[in-house]
Structure 1
Amino acid sequence: MTTIQDFTSQYGLVKKIDAFGYLDYLKANPDAPRKHGKIVLVTADTPLKASRGEGKTTTTIALIDALNKRGIDAAAVLRQPSMGITAAGSKGGASGGGKASLTHPELIDWGLTGEMAAIAAAQNLLVSFAEKAIDDGKLDTILVPRVSEVPSRSLRSITVDAGKNNVAEKVVLTPTSELMQIVCLSRSMDEIGQRVAKMIAGTKDGKAVTFGEFVDLWRITGILSDAVKPALTETVNGSPVYVHGGPFANVSIGIPTLVSVEMACSLHDVVIVEAGYGADAGAQKWLDIACREYGAQWPSAAIVVTRASTWRDDPELAWRYPFHVDRLEKLDIPTFPLINLWEGEDDQVPALRETAAELGFRTPIVGNLFRDGGEALAPQLDGFVEALSNGSMPAQPHSHKGMAIIENIRWVAEHAYGVPADRVVLKDGFADSLGAASALCADAGFRLDDLALVAVKSPATMTDNDRAPEDERTVTLKKVEVHAGAGLVHVNLTSSLTTPMPKIV
């Protein structure tokens, strides 16, 4: 009998799984044994600082350990972090910590599961083809940036000597790249090839030119043959963890690959999906991009992680955590607040529970997960397990495809950031940027409004000024950028860098 083992191979200290092949096998053999796991979304409060995490990965790892301890077959799906930012010490390593850690965190932190380097090589090769197209008179401008895992301030904006004329280019971090998005959203190698062909390489005489017009795509897809395979590792307690994809949630889609999640759901009863940064970033994009536009499963429950200090120590920002929990509950997603304690905070637990009760939360889950791991969670999960056991598989939300982009972003601002449509402001130059993006799409044969919306924003803020009174908060739209191959349109809302610098530690 064919099993997942037939699609699994050793890759250093971890394993790689041909998820495309396995899911194709299940489609061709509908009677083959499989599960239909429910998805739980782990998201977080908006952090006080962009460089600080709330503990989503630590929580995700502790949660699957706790569920497995209770006899529930649970696995997690994580993204791979960016080496230059995460492993360089700017924030958590995306592999947990303490008793809630992976067996080989260095494999995740330092990019050794392979896909990050392969995706960077493939996108950089595309840009090299675009530069050759400049020489051959097929392009005048290049719109796809090169990528790197190591940030450099000098590479944010560069000019390349192209002989007769200079060509403006830039370099962004690999997780923010369009090719990373394509890998995360595609369900086959054929789809990846089709999406790469639709990527807009640049312009010729002001008209859009796609890579499919001058590049043999096998050169790109061949580089990605291992990168499209999720890595299988495990927690220190033996719970399975799939690692695949790595887009930032503030300037990209912030979710693991859809194929890794679908594969995990066919193998386990509960699949914990971690979405990047806060509920206003990664969770918003899982719901409004992965689920709404790309057919991913709507969560059966959610966990919203916060630190005690983030929730309580800054009164002007205390509104954000209750907003996130309430928003997910209003989407009929049973939502459980989880408070990730640090050393010395155990005495705050009674007061934290009292405040949670005053806010009308479900009974909060509280623990020092670094110190105690899943053992801290297992006794507290009765309500969570009941919600999963009794809840039905949620219906798929309707698509926003075709909605005018400004109306779409106003909808996101109201529902994800708490800012009504009449306080969404257009910065000078936004209309011109929108018009240019619309014309670029028309040249390439499609409508801008048919692309899924990516809000590009600061990871530490939801609005232009989160400290402003509620009736004065605004969201300003700044510019538009098309990622045609990925089927996405980026709208910049607040200051965010695609090549942020690491923190010196």
Structure 2
Amino acid sequence: MKTDIEIARAAVKRPIAQIAARLGLGPDQILPYGHDKAKITHDALAALPDHQGRLILVTAINPTPAGEGKTTTTVGLGDALNRIGKRATICIREASLGPNFGMKGGAAGGGMAQIVPMEDMNLHFTGDFHAITSAHNLLSAMIDNHIYWGNALDIDTRRITWRRVVDMNDRALRDITVGLGGVSNGFTRQTGFDITVASEVMAILCLATDLADLQARLGQIVIGYTRDRAPVTASDIGADGAMTVLLRDALQPNLVQTLENNPALVHGGPFANIAHGCNSVIATRAALRLSDYVVTEAGFGADLGAQKFLDIKCRKAGLMPSAVVVVATVRALKMNGGVARADLGAENVVAVRNGCANLGRHIENMQGYGLPVVVAINHFTADTDAEIAAVQEYCAALGVQAVVSRHWAEGGVGAEDLARAVIAAADSDAADFRLLYSDEMPLWDKIETIATRIYRAARIEAAPGVQAQLQAWEQAGHGNLPVCIAKTQYSFSADPDLRGAPQGHTLPVREVRLSAGAGFIVVICGQIMTMPGLPRVPAAESIRLNDLGLVEGLF
């Protein structure tokens, strides 16, 4: 079997204008970036037809080193829907350079279920992340510049909460001191860097509905506090207009295609373990108005990405999902059942059954939102009939169909059975979507609701000052915001080594951050970092140009 990059490089791509035409978009409604990618213009977005397709969310069990293949399944399902005669569009996030050069790899799918151009998508693409990084750091520079030239707003330099960002894993930048070197370099203060995908600007771009909404949200960013403890915003600094200018083109969703030449909108890229983990509202809404079915994914396991997709993105954008697909692999279920990675190739039905507890927890959580669920068994060649049957029997006992999908090896044709099952669920009108908590619920209770009902924790434990900070934000008018929990993606708990379906644990809340522009409260739990580090052997060591000038090492 060829590698992902070899498969993508051999793809027969159609001119992007032809892909746009399949969505009913003319040449004047897209801005081409070369021959194989384009942005849908702001004017085109404002003039989209009054149509509403069905929204299908793809999520997964908790990730393991064995692999789950959520993006691959999303792409394969989208291709399969088009193969069986449905007008379907795929909506996924853009790739961050940090994981690409770290350990996760790319974000374009895999095998015969990929979005192309794969190399462009996994590197600089259309420059959206650079624009977000620049807009974020412009605000950082303007804050320090304001203080340097007299600090008319009386900002307390000890209470500046706005950090800087870079789209790379760099643990050395987590905590830094700026302003060293003398008076001409400004005032010395402690700050740090987050990765770009954790930026509030990223979250704002993914939740904004148009340019006016984008600027309004940017202006509401709270960058810190005065000596009298009054909040200072980006609009107070005078940065919101220039930030909007930098993000003008980035707000337009990117149109590309799958290996089977089906349309895909790839836009935005917040991580689900430290942010809200969904592609942009603009892209999703556009796809719903241009298609009968939209297949989108939410990052990591359903306890993170799907929960945030439903309680943040759907709440804010008024979206109503029709069905949820939970992706699982036999290999990952065996790991959840206690099998070591080196032993995954051997049949172990007992371990599969034990590992299904993790899958069952995610199914129950999604059903708790009133949504019909289909399980996609992302097929590996070593899977045995007995192992697959064990998964299907477990799911059947929960009233859920589990369908084997071979999209990685066969493309859309290998996911046709999955597509038919998803259509049956989505068209059944069985969805009775309901949010996990109300806007009026106190912030602490919202955190507790997610911890107890989604993670099955017994209680939450907060660092000193957290509850007082939440109460202060409620008094300032932010109590109606949803909460965005940042925690490890590997477990329902805050312990990455606690696999399966743990319950009765404690969720440790280390810190809370206000994202007033994005419209949520970030709750940082356990040892999760908003600036990841590189692994011992980063993928960057294997990425290079070969003798033909082609990229090697991306996966």
After TM superposition, the score normalised by the length of structure 1 is 0.90
Taking the TM superposition and a 5 Å limit, the aligned residue runs for 1:204-215 are: 204-205=226-227, 206-215=229-238
In the alignment, what sits opposite 2:265? 242
Q: Indicate which of 253, 269, 276 corresponds to 1:230.
A: 253
In the alignment, what sits opposite 1:82? 96
Q: Does structure 1 conserve the Cα–Cα contact (< 8 Å) formed by 2:275 and 2:486?
A: yes
Q: Structure 2: which amino acid aligns with 1:245? A: G
4+ residue runs over 6 A deviation: none
**Structure 1 residues 218, 350: closer, same or farther in 2, change over 3 A?**
closer
State the alpha-carbon separation in 2 of the partners of residues 74 and 208 from structure 1.
Answer: 45
Confirm whether residue 197 of structure 1 aligns to residue 227 of structure 2.
no
Q: Which runs of 5+ in 1 are unaligned?
A: 27-32
Taking the TM superposition and a 5 Å limit, the aligned residue runs for 1:90-105 are: 90-105=103-118
State the alpha-carbon separation in 2 of the partners of residues 89 and 214 from structure 1.
Answer: 35
Confirm whether residue 435 of structure 1 aligns to residue 451 of structure 2.
no
Q: Indicate which of 370, 373, 377 corresponds to 1:339.
A: 377
In the alignment, what sits opposite 2:513? 481
Taking the TM superposition and a 5 Å limit, the aligned residue runs for 1:247-262 are: 247-262=270-285
Confirm whether residue 409 of structure 1 aligns to residue 439 of structure 2.
no
Deviation per residue, 1:173-199 (Å, 9 max, x gap): 111100001111110111111111111
Q: Does structure 1 conserve the Cα–Cα contact (< 8 Å) formed by 2:30 and 2:39?
A: yes
In the alignment, what sits opposite 2:199? 177
In the alignment, what sits opposite 1:492? 524
Confirm whether residue 418 of structure 1 aligns to residue 456 of structure 2.
yes
- The 3-state SS of whatever aligns with 1:414 is helix
Taking the TM superposition and a 5 Å limit, the aligned residue runs for 1:21-420 are: 21-26=43-48, 33-48=49-64, 53-85=67-99, 87-135=100-148, 136-137=150-151, 138=153, 139-141=155-157, 142-161=160-179, 163=183, 165-205=187-227, 206-292=229-315, 294-315=316-337, 318-347=356-385, 350-357=388-395, 359-391=397-429, 397=435, 400-419=438-457
The CA RMSD measured in Å over matched residues stands at 2.4
State the alpha-carbon separation in 1 of the partners of residues 272 and 418 from structure 2.
Answer: 29
Identity score, percent: 29
State the alpha-carbon separation in 1 of the partners of residues 179 and 57 from structure 2.
Answer: 47
In the alignment, what sits opposite 1:453? 483
State the shift of 1:339 in Å: 1.4
Q: Does structure 1 conserve the Cα–Cα contact (< 8 Å) formed by 2:405 and 2:417?
A: no
State the alpha-carbon separation in 1 of the partners of residues 126 and 330 from structure 2.
Answer: 33
Higher mean Cα deviation, 8-17 or 474-483? 8-17
After TM superposition, the score normalised by the length of structure 2 is 0.82
- The 3-state SS of whatever aligns with 1:391 is coil
State the shift of 1:311 in Å: 1.4
State the shift of 1:500 in Å: 0.9
State the alpha-carbon separation in 1 of the partners of residues 415 and 456 from structure 2.
Answer: 31
Q: Does structure 2 conserve the Cα–Cα contact (< 8 Å) formed by 1:20 and 1:187?
A: no
State the shift of 1:398 in Å: 8.5
**Structure 1 residues 92, 151: closer, same or farther in 2, change over 3 A?**
closer
**Structure 1 residues 214, 380: closer, same or farther in 2, change over 3 A?**
closer
Q: Structure 1: which amino acid aligns with 2:84? A: R
Higher mean Cα deviation, 213-222 or 383-392? 383-392
Q: Does structure 1 conserve the Cα–Cα contact (< 8 Å) formed by 2:91 and 2:284?
A: yes
State the alpha-carbon separation in 2 of the partners of residues 413 and 364 from structure 1.
Answer: 27
State the shift of 1:439 in Å: 3.6
State the alpha-carbon separation in 1 of the partners of residues 254 and 300 from structure 2.
Answer: 22
Q: Does structure 1 conserve the Cα–Cα contact (< 8 Å) formed by 2:493 and 2:502?
A: no
- The 3-state SS of whatever aligns with 1:390 is coil
Q: Does structure 2 conserve the Cα–Cα contact (< 8 Å) formed by 1:452 and 1:488?
A: yes
State the shift of 1:348 in Å: 5.1
Query: What is the number of equivalent residue pairs in this alignment?
Result: 486
Q: Does structure 2 conserve the Cα–Cα contact (< 8 Å) formed by 1:114 and 1:226?
A: no
State the shift of 1:343 in Å: 3.3
State the shift of 1:325 in Å: 1.1
